[in-house]
C-alpha cells in the first residue's frame, strides 16, 4: 500500500497577532484540513503566513513564514501547491484601507505563480470604497473555491457582480473547534450544582468616548447587585488591548469590583475555548467569544460593534442585546439575568441550529481536499 500523496497548502490570514479569535480560525482550519485529508487519503502540509512565524510554529507544529516580508512570503507561495485565504474578516476597510489590498495581493501573487486559490469561510465587508469591488471580483473569479460565513457576505459579493453560483455559504470554521480532550460541552440536564454562577465577559475598545463600556459597567453593576451568586470572569481575546479594555470596565464596577477577575495571558485558542465552556453565560463583543459560547452550548448576550456580530447571532435566531451606538443598560441587564436562569432551555432551543453549524463547518476543507483528489 503506497503512502498518501503530500499537498502543501499556504494559509493567509490575520495570524500571529495574539488574537484568540483569529488563532482559533487558524487552528480550526488546520484541524479540518488534517481530518479531511485523512478521510480522503491525502497528507496536508500547511505553510502559514504569520506575523510571528516562530510562535506559530511552536503553537501548531507547522511551517510558518513572515507575512509581511516579501522574500519569505514569495518562498511560501512558491513552495505550496495552493493558497487558502481565510477565514475571518479579511476583506473589509473599516479598520484600515490597506487591509483589502494586502490580502488580495497575496491571492494575486499566488495566481500569477499558477497556484490554485481558495477563499475559506470569510466574512466580506464592510467595503465602503467602491474601487475595491472590481479588485475583489477579479481575484475571486480566478479562485477554485469561494466560501463565505454568512448570507450577507454572499449578498455583498453579488453586489460586486460575482456570480452567486460561485459562492458557498458555510459557518465560521471555529464552530468546529474541539476542546483539548476532543469532547464538547453539552447542555446540562438539571440546575447547576455549583453555588456561584460565572459570567464570562469579552470586551474591546470601540467608541472613542468609551460610552459603550461605561454603559456595560452600569449594567454589570445592576446585575451584580441583583444576584449575589454571580462572579464575572473577563476574557481578553486580543492581547494586550482587550486586557486594558477589561480593566477599564472592572475599574468602574465600584463596590462590586471584588467579584470580577481577569484571565491573563491566554493565547492558545483551545485554552480560551475551555474558559468559555466553564461559564454559565457569556457577554461578548468579540465575534469569536460568541462563537466559542455557541459551540459549547453556553448562552450568550451579544454587543454589536460590527455587522458580523448581528449576522452570526441571526444564524442562531438571536439579536444583539445592545450595540456600541445604542446601549440601554437596564434592558441589557434584564436580558442577561433572563438567560442566566434559562441555560437549559436556551441550549435545548438552540441545539438544532448549533449542531447544523458544527456539521457544516468542515465543508470548505472537504471541498479543497476533493480538488486535489481530482488532479
Q: What are residue 19's DSSP bridge partners?
A: 238
Q: CB within 8 A of 51, min separation 6: which ones?
A: 15, 16, 17, 66, 67, 68
Q: What are residue 284's DSSP bridge partners?
A: 202, 302
Query: Which residue reads 479594555 in cell numbers?
Result: 245
Per-residue pLDDT at 190: 40
Q: CB within 8 A of 359, min separation 6: which ones?
A: none
Give 103-155 pLDDT, tens digit per residue. 999 999 999 999 999 999 999 999 999 999 999 999 999 999 999 999 999 99
Does residue 124 contact residue 92 with C-beta atoms inside 8 Å? yes
Whole-number Å distance between alpha carbons of 200 and 262: 10
Query: Which residue reads 438567560 in cell numbers?
Result: 339
pLDDT in 10s for each residue of the chain, 375 residues:
467 899 999 999 999 999 999 999 999 999 999 999 999 999 999 999 999 999 999 999 999 999 999 999 999 999 999 999 998 999 999 888 899 999 999 999 999 999 999 999 999 999 999 999 999 999 999 999 999 999 999 999 999 999 999 999 999 999 999 998 755 554 444 444 457 999 999 999 999 999 999 999 999 999 999 999 999 999 999 999 999 999 999 999 999 999 999 999 898 999 999 999 999 999 999 999 999 999 999 999 999 999 899 999 999 999 999 999 999 999 999 999 999 988 899 999 999 999 999 999 999 999 999 999 876
Whole-number Å distance between alpha carbons of 148 and 169: 5
Give 49-97 pLDDT, tens digit per residue. 999 999 999 999 999 999 999 999 999 999 999 999 998 999 999 888 8
Per-residue pLDDT at 267: 86
Give 266-275 pLDDT, tens digit per residue. 989 999 999 9
Per-residue pLDDT at 194: 53
Beta strands in the chain, from DSSP E residues, in sequence order: 6-12, 43-50, 63-66, 83-88, 117-122, 145-148, 167-169, 197-202, 230-234, 260-262, 281-284, 300-304, 322-323
* C-alpha grid cell, residue 8: 502543501
CA atoms within 13 A on the CB side of 210: 12
Query: Which residue reads 456561584 in cell numbers?
Result: 196
Whole-number Å distance between alpha carbons of 158 and 300: 31
Report which DSSP code applies to 16: S
Per-residue pLDDT at 182: 53
DSSP H helical segments within 183-306, as ranges? 211-226, 241-250, 269-277, 287-295
Per-residue pLDDT at 341: 83
For 208, counting Cβ atoms within 10 Å of its Cβ (0-12 exposed, 13-18 middle, 19+ buried), the class is exposed
Q: What are residue 260's DSSP bridge partners?
A: 232
Does residue 276 contact residue 289 with C-beta atoms inside 8 Å? yes
Selection from 260, 290, 254 nearest residue 273 by Cα:
290
Q: Is 283 helix (H, G, I), strand (E, B) or coil?
A: strand
What is the set of domains in the chain, with CATH numbers? 6-179+360-374 (3.40.50.2000), 197-357 (3.40.50.2000)
Give phi and psi for 236, each to the nearest 5: -75, 120
Q: Is 179 left (phi over 0), alpha (psi -120 to 50) or beta?
A: beta
Q: What are residue 300's DSSP bridge partners?
A: 282
> Radius of gyration (Cα) for the chain, nearest Å?
21
Amino acid at each position: 500500500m503506497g503512502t498518501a500523496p503530500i499537498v502543501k497548502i499556504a494559509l493567509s490570514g490575520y495570524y500571529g497577532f495574539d488574537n484568540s479569535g483569529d488563532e482559533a480560525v487558524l487552528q480550526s482550519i488546520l484541524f479540518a484540513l488534517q481530518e479531511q485529508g485523512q478521510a480522503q487519503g491525502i497528507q496536508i502540509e500547511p505553510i502559514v503566513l504569520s506575523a510571528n512565524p516562530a510562535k506559530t510554529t511552536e503553537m501548531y507544529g507547522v511551517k510558518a513564514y513572515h507575512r509581511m516580508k516579501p522574500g519569505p512570503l514569495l518562498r511560501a507561495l512558491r513552495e505550496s501547491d495552493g493558497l487558502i485565504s481565510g477565514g475571518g474578516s479579511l476583506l473589509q476597510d473599516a479598520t484600515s484601507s490597506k487591509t483589502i489590498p494586502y490580502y488580495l495581493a497575496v491571492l494575486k501573487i499566488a495566481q500569477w505563480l499558477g497556484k490554485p486559490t481558495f477563499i475559506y469561510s470569510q466574512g466580506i465587508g464592510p467595503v465602503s470604497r467602491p474601487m475595491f469591488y472590481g479588485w475583489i471580483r477579479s481575484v475571486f473569479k480566478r479562485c477554485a473555491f469561494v466560501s463565505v460565513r454568512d448570507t450577507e457576505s454572499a449578498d455583498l459579493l453579488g453586489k460586486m457582480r460575482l456570480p452567486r453560483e460561485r459562492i458557498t455559504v458555510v459557518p465560521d470554521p471555529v464552530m468546529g473547534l474541539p476542546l483539548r480532550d476532543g469532547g464538547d460541552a453539552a447542555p446540562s440536564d438539571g440546575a447547576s450544582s455549583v453555588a456561584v454562577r460565572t459570567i464570562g465577559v469579552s470586551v474591546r475598545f470601540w467608541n472613542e468616548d468609551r460610552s459603550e463600556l461605561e454603559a456595560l459597567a452600569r449594567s454589570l453593576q445592576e446585575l451584580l447587585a441583583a444576584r449575589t451568586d454571580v462572579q464575572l470572569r473577563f476574557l481578553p481575546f486580543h492581547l494586550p488591548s482587550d486586557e486594558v479594555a477589561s480593566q477599564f470596565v472592572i475599574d468602574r464596577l465600584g463596590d462590586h469590583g471584588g467579584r470580577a477577575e481577569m484571565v491573563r495571558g491566554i493565547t492558545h485558542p483551545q485554552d480560551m475555548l475551555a474558559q468559555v465552556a466553564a461559564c454559565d453565560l457569556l457577554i461578548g463583543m468579540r465575534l469569536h467569544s460568541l462563537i466559542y459560547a455557541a459551540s459549547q452550548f453556553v448562552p450568550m448576550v451579544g454587543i454589536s460593534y460590527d455587522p458580523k456580530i448581528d449576522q452570526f447571532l441571526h444564524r442562531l435566531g438571536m439579536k444583539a442585546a445592545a450595540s456600541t451606538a445604542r446601549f440601554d443598560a437596564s434592558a441589557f441587564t434584564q436580558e442577561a439575568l433572563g438567560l442566566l436562569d434559562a441555560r437549559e432551555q436556551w441550549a435545548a432551543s438552540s441545539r438544532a441550529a448549533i449542531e447544523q453549524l458544527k456539521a457544516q463547518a468542515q465543508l470548505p476543507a472537504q471541498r479543497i481536499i476533493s480538488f486535489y483528489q481530482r488532479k
